[in-house]
């Protein structure tokens, strides 16, 4: 059985940070019991996973918080707050109607582009030319149909290799964040 990977809370904005709920006079109904799969304990944190599969939500109970007591989510008010609020929304949705809603940080299109980037990077690491990489990825006939020097497929292949290199060189951490509009 594989051990789940736990990114730091700074790197993975999809983690939900929980503390004991302060008394604020809430009139809301209590939440259903939290039944996390505890996977790692440290002196000040309990890392757990709520739910199953790829869309399970990683939670961190801070400061010795007991999962059986009323809980509150922590959202640092910084530029990453929208990502953390989305994670809390997924967690909340999963508590009421399991499984949790899909994690939107990685769209199917982004996942497919990532696969292409890593394939292109692997080809280049094996000393394949850009043209050889393009022929494998897009097909020999498509690559041959245009002049290579001015081909859009050439430009796409070069970008895929460049972005794949950036991903391997530490850019993979960006996968744990939502894309920001510029």
**What pLDDT does residue 2 have?**
61
- For residue 53, the 8-state DSSP code is S
Contact 147, 53 (CB under 8 A): no
Distance CA 135, CA 13 (A): 38
Q: What value does the mean pLDDT of the chain take? A: 81
Report pLDDT digits (tens) over 81-130: 988 998 898 888 877 766 666 666 677 788 889 889 999 999 999 999 99
Top pLDDT among 132 and 14 is at 132
Report pLDDT digits (tens) over 28-43: 666 665 666 666 777 7
| Least confident residue range of 1-10, 46-55, 68-77, 149-158 | 1-10
Q: How confident is the model over 2-21, as a mean pLDDT?
A: 78
Q: How confident is the model over 139-156, as a mean pLDDT?
A: 93
Pairing of strands 45-50, 57-62: antiparallel
Pairing of strands 45-50, 71-74: unpaired
pTM (two decimals):
0.60
Number of neighbouring beta carbons within 10 Å of residue 182: 3
User: Residue 77's pLDDT band (boundaries 50, 70, 90)?
Assistant: very high
């Amino acid at each position: 059985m594989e051990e789940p990977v736990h990114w730091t809370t700074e790197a993975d904005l999809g983690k939900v940070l929980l503390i004991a709920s302060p008394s604020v006079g809430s009139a809301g109904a209590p939440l259903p019991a939290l039944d996390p799969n505890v996977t790692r304990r440290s002196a000040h944190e309990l890392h757990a996973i709520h739910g199953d599969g790829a869309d399970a939500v990683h939670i961190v109970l801070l400061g010795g918080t007991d999962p059986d007591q009323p809980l509150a989510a922590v959202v640092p008010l910084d530029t990453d707050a929208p990502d953390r609020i989305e994670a809390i929304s997924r967690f909340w949705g999963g508590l009421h109607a399991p499984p949790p809603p899909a994690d939107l940080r990685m769209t199917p299109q982004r996942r497919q582009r990532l696969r292409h980037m890593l394939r292109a990077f692997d080809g280049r690491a094996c000393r394949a030319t850009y043209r050889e990489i393009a022929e494998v990825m897009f097909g020999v006939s498509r690559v041959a149909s245009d002049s290579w020097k001015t081909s859009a497929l050439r430009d796409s292949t070069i970008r895929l290799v460049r972005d794949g290199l950036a991903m391997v060189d530490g850019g993979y951490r960006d996968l744990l964040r939502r894309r920001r509009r510029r």
